[in-house]
Every structure is written in C-alpha cells, then in structure tokens.
Copies of this chain bind each other. A is one copy, B any other.
C-alpha cells in the first residue's frame, strides 16, 4: 500500500523533518518502491517534484530534503503500484488548475471497477484510478460552481467541502480511498482504511522519528503562534500523540488546525 504525507500550517514551514522519516518508507523500512512525489504551495504558485524511482534511493529526494522549501500546504506520496504501470505520468501528487488556483491530490488505495464518466473537461493523462478520480472531483466542482473563483472562496468553503465529502463517500464504495487534497489554503484528508494526524502548537516539544535516527526540538525552531498539522498514513514519530482518523471521515485542515 502507498504512503501519504501532508502538512498544513499557519506560517510557511519546511517539511524536512517529517520527510526524512517518510522517505525511508520508499524502499528501505517499507516496500513502496514504485516512485514518489511531493508538491508544495508557495503563495498561489505550486511546485511538484515527481520521481518514478524509489524514494529511498532518489537523488531528487535527497535534493528536496536538503533544499528546505517553506510552504503552508504540502502533499507527498510514495507509490506501491496497483493500477497503472510505474511511470512519471502515474506518479502522485497530481496537479490541475481550477478557478485560477492549483489543486493537488494524492491517493492511497485501489478502486475496483472504477469507470469515470468520459468526455469531461478534466481528463487523466496516466492510467491510475487515482488521477481519474481526482479529475472526476474537479469536473463535479466546476459544473456545480462554474464561477467558483469569482466568488473568492464564498461558494467554496461549504459547497466544496460538501462535494468532496460526497465524492469521497461514493468512491469509497469501490475500495480503499485514503487521500490528501489541497487547494493551497485548505488540506482535505479522507480516511478510508488508514490515516493519522497530529497538530503541533505551543508549547512545542521534542519529536523523535520512527523510521530514522533523528530527533528535533520544535521549541527551538518555532514561535508561540505557529501551528502545524501533519497527516500521514502511519504516525511518523514515536513520542507524540497522533490521532487516528475514523474511516469514512473527511477532515479539513486550515491554518494548521483541524476545522
């Protein structure tokens, strides 16, 4: 099964600590060796680093870990191919533009017999069920809210959350559908079988990675106002209280806290 990692913050934060443990799962401490990717929002802009090579041995992964990008919303994914061959076009996260903003999406699980409606505006480039599902959501959103962007989040907030939840519930009937989704402000996390999160805020403490011999003292690198939510398939640290998301729930994170 693939691995997901997400971060949502109230101040631009680097994800180097979490990523260090997470990347070990791509071929070293776990078997997810069919590529990996990470996408960062920086303002309205978005950078995705994608690699069809195993994360644990990827020069690109090393580069990203050493080049701390500060971001409010990050999604990373390590792939264990189940639908669609290993290849760049099948590497998560997927990125599309809707309403003049980028959306990013990564999925963990397999949907059985999923056939997205043909001929729509957003179409999958690769052959994963995941990208097709992401396109279906965007097609639904732009049909329901054609002028979404014009209302500057007005339609968005409740309406989009409703549609995301309905889509998540519909597709979960076909199989495991754990996902992370972000529009650059909010981060949506859906647990179908396995997903946990932690909200870090003052007073910050030390955290110790499970997959790597590394500890960080967050009190030394934060201010009392900082809030950071980290969401992952499985907890990344062994000395903090992670919250397991109940199956069937879409959690929405904004400004580093679950809303």
Say if the beta carbon of A211 comes within 8 Å of chain B. no
Which of B49, B100, B125 interacts with A45 by CB under 8 Å?
Answer: B125
Q: Size range of the interface on A?
A: 35 or more
| With contact pairs A67-B60, A119-B147, A147-B119 given, residues A88 and B125 touching in the complex (Cβ less than 8 Å) | no
Identify A48's interface contact among B48, B87, B91, B119, CB under 8 A.
B48
Does A83 lie at the interface of the complex (its beta carbon under 8 Å from any beta carbon of B)? no
Residues of chain B lying within 8 A (CB to CB) of residue A50: 45, 47
Tell me, yes or no, whether A42 is within 8 Å of chain B by CB.
yes
Encode A33-59 as 1/0 by CB contact (under 8 A) with B.
000000000111111111010000001
User: Quick one: CB contact mask for A113-149 with B, threshold 8 Å, 1 for yes?
Assistant: 0000001011111100000000000000010001101
- The secondary structure that dominates the A interface is mixed
CB distance from A112 to the nearest CB of B (A): 22
Cβ contact within 8 Å between A126 and B47: no
- A47 to chain B: closest residue by CB: B50
Q: A88-B43, A88-B47, A89-B43 are in contact. Are A123 and B97 (CB under 8 A)?
A: yes
CB distance from A191 to the nearest CB of B (A): 28
CA distance A142 to B49 in the complex (A): 28
Does A101 sit at the interface, judged by CB under 8 A?
yes
- Nearest B residue to A91 via CB reads B45
Q: Which 10 A-B residue pairs are closest in the complex by CB-CB distance?
A: A45-B88, A45-B89, A100-B123, A44-B89, A42-B88, A63-B63, A44-B125, A47-B50, A100-B125, A59-B67
Chain B residue contacts of A87, Cβ below 8 A: 42-45
